[in-house]
Amino acid sequence: MDPLGARSQFVDIQTLPTWDQSLDHLDSCKSNGLHCVEDTVPSPFPYREDINRKIILFNGDVALLNCTAIVNTSNETLTDKNPASDSIHLHAGPELKEELLKLKGCRTGEAKITEGFNLAARFLVHTVGPKYKARYRTAAESSLYNCYRNVMQLVREHAMSSVGFCVINSPKRGYPLDDATHIALRTVRRFLEKFGETIEMVVFAVTDFEEPSYRKLLPLYFPRSVQEEHRNLLLLPPDIGNSEGEPVVPERQIRISEKPGLQEEYSDEDDLKSDLSFVGSHAFSRMEDDIDKQRKLVLQGQMSDAALQKQHQRNYNRWLGRARGEDLSDIAALKALYQTGVDTRGRTVMVIVGRNIPVTLIDMEKALLYFIHVMDHIVVKEYVMVYFHTLTGEHNHIDTDFIKKLYDIVDAKYKKNLKAFYFVHPTFRSKVSTWFFTTFNVSGLKDKVQHIDSLGELFAYISPEQIDIPPFVLEYEARVNNSYHSYPFSDL
C-alpha cells in the first residue's frame, strides 16, 4: 500500500491510462506498405489484454509516481548524477543518501532495495546500467537485461503491486536508446507472462526524448489487438531473446556464470583501480588451510574463535550463493515473507505470515534458501520482524529443528541487528513452545520476542500505515477482539 498523505504533486497511477486504452484506431493492414502475416504464423508476443492492462507509458518524472516501488538508475557507487536520480534524491530527502552509503555500492546489472523515505513510493530499487561500447555489445545487452530482470524479481519477491521504471540506460552511459528499449520491453513482457499474477501495474516513465522510441516499440511486445500483433510481427528484431527475454548469442550457448569478485570486462580504464581492489580477496589467494582439516579441528575443539567465525562465514556464504542461484519462485509465490514499512524508530519491518507456509507440502530447504535470499541485504542494519500466527494449523507449524538450523546458519548480522520479534495472535501452546525454544536452544533471541494479542498492541510499535496486514488477519481481529478499523492491508 502507498503511504497516506502524499503531496499533491505526486501522481496517482490509478488515474493514468493503461496501454490497452491508448489504441484509438488501427491502420489497415496494408498501411505503410506492410501486409498482415498469415494467422498460421505464431507471434512470440501474442495479444494479451490482461498484460496490456498492467502497462502504463507515462511522460513525466518517475520520482512523482505513487507506485509501491520506483527504480533509481545510478552508477556502481550509487552516487550518479542524472536527471532521474537527482529528482529521486530531491524528493526522498537527505536520509536516502545516508542509506545508500550502507549498501556499499551496487554492481552492474544488480538491483538493491531501500525504503522510499519522503517519496510517494514506499520502496526504491537501485540498479546500475552498463557502459555501452560497440565491441562489447553482447556483455552490455546481458547486463541491461539483468537490470530489468533483477528489478522485477525484487518486486515479485517483496509482493509489491506496482513498479515505476525510469529509463535505466542513462545517456552518459552511451547505450543506444532503441536497442535499450527493445531489451526493457521484452524483459518486462516475459516476466509478466510467467510471474505477473501478483503485479498490478508496471509504469514506464519517459522524457520527451524517450517517448517516441517507447511508443514505436511498445506495440511489438504489447500488441493491443490481434491485428496489431500480426502487423508488427515483421518488425520484430532477429534477436528477441530466450523465454526469459535474455539476449542469446549462438556462439556463447555454453556460458560461464558471473566471475566472483570481478567487475564487468568492459569497464573503462578509470575503473581499473576499483577492479584491482578485488585481487587477492578469494580463499586461494589467502592460502587458507584445507577445509576438511578445519572441520576436523572444529570437532576436536581445537580451533580458535576467529577460525570458527571464519568457518561459519564461509558456510553462510555457500548458502547465500545457492540462494542467489536457484529458482525460488515457487516459495516466493506463497507470500509468506515480505518487507513492509518501518517501525516507530525507523527500523525496517519484515513480515512472516504463518498461515501461508504449507510446511508439509513444500521443500523446507528451499524455504531456508529463500529466507536467506530475501533477508541478506535487510539485516545489514537494524530491523524487526512481525510474525502473524493467526489461524495457523498443524500443517503450518515449523519444526523447531528447522528454526535451530536457520539460526545456526545465518551470520552474526542477523542476530545483532534484529531488535524485536513480534509474535502476533499467539496461542497458549505457541507461547509455551516459544519459551522452551528460546530458553534452551537460542537464548540470544529470548529477550527480543514479544507476544502480541491484538493489533492495537502492535500499533504501539509500528503505525498502521507502515505495515501491510493480510485481510484474514484483520477479519480475525474483528471477530475475536472486536476492533475492526480501516487498517491498511495487503492483497496476500
Query: What is the C-alpha separation between 371 and 365, in angstroms, rounded?
Result: 10
CA dist 152 and 147 (Å) reads: 9
pTM above 0.75, yes or no: no
Amino acid 484 reads: Y
**What was the pLDDT predicted at 434?**
87
The CATH class that applies to domain 13-251 reads alpha beta
Of residues 429 and 191, the one with the higher pLDDT is: 191
| Cβ contacts of 307 within 8 Å, gap of 6 or more | 294, 297
Question: Which of 32-41, 75-84, 300-309 is the most confident on average?
Answer: 75-84
pLDDT at 485 over 70: no
Do residues 144 and 127 touch, judged by C-beta distance below 8 A? no
Q: 73: which strand partners? A: 127
Average pLDDT, the chain: 83
**Predicted confidence (pLDDT) at residue 26 exceeds the cutoff of 70:** no
Are 14 and 20 a contacting pair, CB within 8 Å? no
In the structure, what pLDDT confidence band is assigned to residue 313 with cuts at 50, 70 and 90? confident
Q: How far is CA 8 from the centre of its chain?
A: 28
Q: How far apart are CA 297 and CA 215, in angstroms?
A: 64
User: What 3-state class would DSSP assign to 244?
Assistant: coil
330-481 classified as CATH 1.10.10.10:
no
Q: Which residue has the cell 569478485?
A: 261
pLDDT of residue 277: 36
Least confident of 35-39, 384-388, 437-441: 35-39
